[in-house]
Amino acid sequence: MDTLLSGQLLFAALVSGSLYALVALGLNLVYGTLRLLNIAHGDLVMIGAYTAFWLFTLFAIPPLVSLVIAAALCALLGWAVYAGLFRRMLAKPDLAKRVEANSLILFYGISVILQNLAALAFTSSSRGYQYLDTVLTWQGVSMTGNRLLSLGVATTVCFGTLLFLRFHLFGWGLRAVIQRREAAQVVGVNMNRIQLATICGGFAVAGIAGVLVSMTEQITPFMGFPFTIVAFVVIIIGGLGNIGAGILAGFCLGLVETYGIALTSPGYRSILIYGLFVAVLLIRPEGIFTKAVRS
Amino acid sequence: MKNVSITLGLALAALGVAAPFTGSPYLMGIVFQLAMWIALAQSWSMLSATTGYLSLGHAVFYGVGAYVCVLLTGLIPFEFALIAAAAAAALFAALVGMPVLRVRGPYFVILTYGLSELVRHIVMRIESALGSFGRMLFDVPPIEVLLWWMVGLATLATLGAFVIRHSRFGAGLAAIREDEVAAETVGVPVARLKLLAFIASAAIPGAVGGLALLRTSYFEPAQAFDPVISFTIVTMALVGGTETVRGPILGALGFTLLSEFLWSSLPQLYMIVLGLTLITFILFVPRGLSGLVDSIKGAR
């Protein structure tokens, strides 16, 4: 019981919760504005993680700097997807219909390609590096610098995005597109600009999350898929396209996961996550579906 | 065109029956793989091609079949174990089908994937709690017998897919694909048809999983429920073409040959080619290899 009430466990829950919130934020933004369930989202986390790993081991560039580079790299990928696929879909309605029906399989294909390209280039062995891993103790809670940094960056990006959406004119437009895309267009919101900016931004956030993961955990080319699943759980709990609730749900999942594992054993982590995932989809299919159909 | 398809089917079946007489283990291995993927892709098409409910979790039926088979091997003759494997997979589909089939579109795709992964992790947990890290099988039937069984399953799946498509049942499923709400309004028993199609598409993969297990004579949950199986099935069926019965056969044929060339030497490259082919076909060749064959014939 003592361990359950300790600050140690709470800290662990907050660190993973903030990371889940961050990964889910990108997925949610992309879904909200483009109606695209990007199943390759976790692989962007993987790309961010490898970017940080190589920059650190080869050039001793600290992860805080890699954050910017990884974000830029993933944003570039977002631009490529938008230019390569969505421009074409806008031009050809029959292509658009086909892609929508198979979008998930399509992105699963992209995901498989990214994973195996990474495995070819970097081998499948897991890698890691040591950065800020000295233990600091505060009020009886021991924490490593990298975890503290991860918590700080993830929380800052999440809440920064929320503030941007609330107070910046562009953020207003973005929220308008999420809520009523036709109405937003009628009142003069530039859909193309918003969609392009969101896909770049959403991908960039995933890259940032990847850099944070690489500081504390071993990375592999196949690390991404569990993150995709986690992000799906989070945004379905929080409500698709509902950015603020999604961030809250991310922290909640961190709490549930950490305390769930503390009560059972680490071997149950995957069962817990996938169980939640299946349960959430089964319990709320109508609610989820009505939103999907309105698009 | 119909004659060509029937000839192709008969030729493949004859190849399967005749392969053991060549005495070449290599040839038998390839034909076994080919028959396995045809059986799986055809079974998948019974639900997913007819109704448009794309399942990305068919590995779960394969895995359940393999698991049941490994538990029963030694207790009862392998023929009965295979039938039990098919029955277990069908039963599993019947149990989860009702809630799962209420979920539509992309959510159905990720739900089936998630369900398959959930079962995989549960079985891994059970096995490690039992202290077993992979089970070896002894006294498995010879490859010839397994091959004939697999060819039988592939034939059964193909005939099943054909019968379903050309029956009243199949017409109902097609109505669900076109417009589920409208189908329900005019009196198609939507929920029942979907459930039956789900069960039908699960049974044969269960037996296939059991056979594949007997072939490798080694059970490991992470492999038996490998999501790559689900992904390969979907890719083969979509690339082959979902509009016809011959589509999944063409897809399975193409990828089995490709994997012979690439899988053993460059598995990652094989997966990349799989992904690229899938994307290309979804974007540019929606009717698959089967449609390509038609258009070449039409142009002539």
> For the segment B42-96, what is each residue's pLDDT rounded down to a tens digit?
999 999 989 989 999 999 999 999 999 999 988 899 999 999 999 999 999 999 9
Residue B299: pLDDT band with limits 50, 70, 90: low
CA B249 – CA A107 distance, rounded (Å) = 24
Residues of A in contact with B104 (CB under 8 A): 285, 289
Q: What are phi and psi of A143, to 5 degrees?
A: -145, 150
Contacts of B44 (CB under 8 A, 6+ apart): B55, B58, B201, B205, B233, B234, B237, B248
Residues of A in contact with B269 (CB under 8 A): 116, 120
Q: Which of residues 190-249 of B touch A (CB under 8 A)?
A: 231, 234-235, 238
Question: Chain A residue with minimal CA distance to B281?
Answer: A106
CA B17 – CA B60 distance, rounded (Å) = 29
In a mutagenesis test of the A interface, which of B44, B60, B92, B111 is the best target, namely the one with the most A β-carbons within 10 Å?
B111
For position B1, what pLDDT does the model report?
A: 58
Question: Chain B residue with minimal CA distance to A283?
Answer: B99
CB contact under 8 A, B100 and A282: yes
Residues of B in contact with A95 (CB under 8 A): 283
CB contact under 8 A, A271 and B269: no
Contact A59, A221 (CB under 8 A): no
CA B245 – CA A2 distance, rounded (Å) = 62
CB contact under 8 A, A102 and B282: yes
Question: Is B100 near chain A, with CB under 8 Å?
Answer: yes
Radius of gyration of chain B (CA): 19
What would the 3-class secondary structure string for A258-275 be? HHHHHHCCHHHHHHHHHH
A154-206 per-position pLDDT tens digit: 999 999 999 988 888 888 888 888 888 778 888 878 888 888 999 999 999 99
Residues of B in contact with A229 (CB under 8 A): 114, 117
Q: Measured between CB atoms, which of A106, A116, A288 is closest to B107?
A: A288
Question: Is B107 near chain A, with CB under 8 Å?
Answer: yes
Place of tokens 């009702």: B98
Place of tokens 């002894």: B138
- Please report, for residues B20, B56, B148, the alpha-carbon distance to residue B14 in angstroms, rounded to integers and kept in the order given: 11, 31, 11
Alpha carbon B94 to its chain centroid, in Å, reads 17
Q: Measured between CB atoms, which of B114, B117, B276 is closest to A113?
A: B276
For position A285, what pLDDT does the model report?
A: 53
Tokens in use for B210? 């059991």
- pTM of the complete model: 0.88
Question: Chain A residue with minimal CA distance to B105?
Answer: A101
Chain A residue set in contact with B, beta carbons under 8 Å: 37, 39, 95, 98-99, 101-106, 108-113, 115-117, 119-120, 229, 232, 267-268, 270-271, 274-275, 277-278, 281-282, 285-286, 288-289, 292
Q: Which helix (H) or strand (E) covers residue A144, if one does?
A: strand A141-144
CA B153 – CA B207 distance, rounded (Å) = 8
CA B42 – CA B44 distance, rounded (Å) = 5
Residue B117: pLDDT band with limits 50, 70, 90: very high
Burial class (CB in 10 A: 0-12, 13-18, 19+), A171: middle
CB contact under 8 A, A113 and B104: no
Question: Is B269 near chain A, with CB under 8 Å?
Answer: yes
Radius of gyration of chain A (CA): 19
In a mutagenesis test of the A interface, which of B271, B284, B287 is the best target, namely the one with the most A β-carbons within 10 Å?
B271
B173-195 per-position pLDDT tens digit: 999 998 999 999 998 999 999 99
Sequence letter at residue B59 = A
For position A8, what pLDDT does the model report?
A: 83
CB contact under 8 A, A274 and B118: yes
Q: pLDDT under 70 in chain A at which residues?
A: 1-5, 285-295
Burial class (CB in 10 A: 0-12, 13-18, 19+), A186: exposed
Contact A251, B68 (CB under 8 A): no
**What pairs with residue A143 in β-bridges?**
A136
For position A260, what pLDDT does the model report?
A: 87
Question: Chain B residue with minimal CA distance to A230?
Answer: B114
- Please report, for residues A37, B113, B269, the alpha-carbon distance to residue B281 in angstroms, rounded to integers and kept in the order given: 20, 22, 18
In a mutagenesis test of the B interface, which of A271, A284, A293 is the best target, namely the one with the most B β-carbons within 10 Å?
A271
For position A4, what pLDDT does the model report?
A: 66
Long-range contacts of A284-292 (CB under 8 A, 24+ apart): A284/A236, A285/B102, A285/B103, A285/B104, A285/B107, A286/B102, A288/A236, A288/A240, A288/B103, A288/B107, A289/B103, A289/B104, A289/B105, A289/B107, A291/A239, A291/A240, A291/A241, A292/A35, A292/A240, A292/B105, A292/B106, A292/B107
In a mutagenesis test of the A interface, which of B108, B268, B287 is the best target, namely the one with the most A β-carbons within 10 Å?
B268
For position A286, what pLDDT does the model report?
A: 45
For position A295, what pLDDT does the model report?
A: 38
B263-277 per-position pLDDT tens digit: 777 888 888 988 999
Calculate how close chain A gets to B273, using CA atoms only, in Å.
8
CB contact under 8 A, B125 and A268: yes
The DSSP secondary structure of A3-47, one letter per residue, reads: HHHSHHHHHHHHHHHHHHHHHHHHHHHHHHHH----TTHHHHHHH
Q: What is the mean pLDDT of chain B?
A: 90
Question: Chain A residue with minimal CA distance to B121?
Answer: A271
In a mutagenesis test of the A interface, which of B54, B58, B95, B121 is the best target, namely the one with the most A β-carbons within 10 Å?
B121
For position A292, what pLDDT does the model report?
A: 46
For position A2, what pLDDT does the model report?
A: 62
